[in-house]
Each structure stands twice: as C-alpha cells, then as structure tokens.
Amino acid sequence: MEYDDLLNQFDIIERCYYTPPATHTGLDLTNKLMSSWWNGEYNIFYATLRQDESDLSILKLKFSTQQLGDSTLSITSHGNNGIAYPKDGIGTYTIDEGKFNLSSKTITFIKRYVNCNGNAAWKYRGQYKHKLFFGTWGTHYQSFGNFIMKRAAKVESLSLTGIWHGYYFYALDNQAIDYYLMNLSFNENVITGSGTDSVGEFKINGEILPNGSVGFIKVYTTHSWNYFGQIFGSEIYGSWGTNRTPHHGIFLMWKYE
C-alpha cells in the first residue's frame, strides 16, 4: 500500500471510530503513524558518474518527528542483523543530519564513514517517487554520482527465474529515471528473457560470470544497450551504455516478491 493511501485510510478510521480525549493526542498519533510507516530495512545503491564504481548495502532507517504537526521527519540509521553500523565496500558508515519532507517528498542526509579515509562524508540529495528514493550524492558543491534507495524485498523463492522490476538513471539528467519490467530465465550462468519500458519492448540475453559479475544486452527493435554489474542476492546493480560509451547511466533491478 502506498503511503498516501495509508493516510487516507487512517483518516477514515480516525474520523469514524476514534475521538481523541485531547487534540494534541490525536495529532501525536497521526505523527507517529506518518513517521513509523517509513521505518524499515532499506537497500541503498550508489554509483559514480562515468566510472565503473558502484556498490549496494543494507541498512535500517528510523524516521521520527520532533514536534507536533512537523512535516519534516528526521532520519537515523543502524546496521542490519544487530550490527551497530551499516557497511558497504568502502567501510562502515552512519546516516547523519537526515531529513525527509513529507510535503515535497525530498530527502537529504550525510553518509559519514567511520574511521575510514579520514572519516569521509558525502552529501545525498533526492526525492521519493516510484516507491523509492533516488537522487545524487557528492559534496555541497558538486555531484559525483547517483543513488537509489528502496525497501529491502524478501524473496521466498531461491530461484532467480521469474518477474523482475528495475529502474535506470540517465547520467546527464539526475531527475530522469525510467521503470522496466522483465520476465527472466536463469539457466545455470545464462540469462534470457523479455520485458518492456517506456521506450518499448525488448529482449534480454546475457550471462553471470564466475566472479559474480553480470552482463546482458537489452535489445529493442531498432537499437540495444549493454548492461554490466554485480549480483547481490536477488538484486542486480551496475551501469548501462554502449561499447563506445559504457556509462550512460546506472540501473538497479530486483526479483519480484
């Protein structure tokens, strides 16, 4: 259920069945509902523009309000499975100064590495749309790449064959993101299938390499794109482009629940 749908249902329930003893109690309950809906386990994927550098990690986020009626939620994080800090290929990190505005659906936070590279920190700016957060990361003055952050999906089946969802960015336009749906078959290391996006229908042909890398070609009727990345459980992430220009953008795709 989408967040707006949840609030609409809650408003109906509150009006029909619940009369708060005091106005502030009702507001407090509404605030708790708004913030707790966003809590949970997330996958965050980032990539560096025009370079073959990307990574994906799992973290838990908590959204909370500081005062009644506040439309901006603060964000804190901790690691998965009882670990104090989330971790990616660079090292452990924390989410600092996290803010999410419920009205504009914009999100900002600092990804600060702990005891790594002089405690390096990167500024993340994005928005919530298409059931995920996406945007850019870098310094206060310059963007170095894109990121996608979505709720972690729990897939019961061990087989990778089936329906996959995905999104891809255009490197030259930080706001341009497109959705695609695929039906994929994994036969040992060979990947085949078909799908559709806003461009049209396409075929998929590729393979999983012994080192865990994944490469496939997305073939439309008039042109094709090369996709290359890594497999992480039931998710695949990386970059897409052509042989001449391999980094037109980044992508993230996952097996449907």
pTM of this prediction?
0.74
Q: Which residues contact 53 (CB under 8 A, 6 or more apart)?
A: 47, 145
Q: How many angstroms separate the CA atoms of 68 and 71, rounded? A: 9
- DSSP state, residue 86: -
- Over range 153-173, report the average pLDDT: 79
Position 179, amino acid: Y
Q: How many angstroms separate the CA atoms of 99 and 125, rounded? A: 10
User: Is residue 221's pLDDT more than 90?
Assistant: yes
Token reading at 132: 């995920």
Residue of 131, 136, 141, 83 whose CA lies nearest to 111: 136
User: Is residue 239's pLDDT more than 70?
Assistant: yes
CA 1 to chain CA mean position, Å: 17
pLDDT, position 20: 43
Torsion, CA 12, CA 14, CA 16, CA 19, rounded to 10 = -160
User: Is residue 189's pLDDT more than 80?
Assistant: yes
241 forms beta bridges with: 226
Planar angle of CA 136, 138, 143, nearest 5 degrees? 60
- Over range 1-29, report the average pLDDT: 44
Q: Is 17 helix (H, G, I), strand (E, B) or coil?
A: helix
pLDDT, position 23: 44
Planar angle of CA 146, 220, 179, nearest 5 degrees? 35
Q: How many angstroms separate the CA atoms of 3 and 23, rounded? A: 23
**For 47-58, how does the pLDDT look when each residue is reduced to its tens digit (9 = 90+)?**
876 666 778 888
Lowest mean pLDDT among 1-15, 57-71, 77-91, 217-231: 1-15
Q: How many angstroms separate the CA atoms of 124 and 247, rounded? A: 21
Residue with tokens 């030259």: 172
Residue of 118, 101, 57 whose CA lies nearest to 83: 57
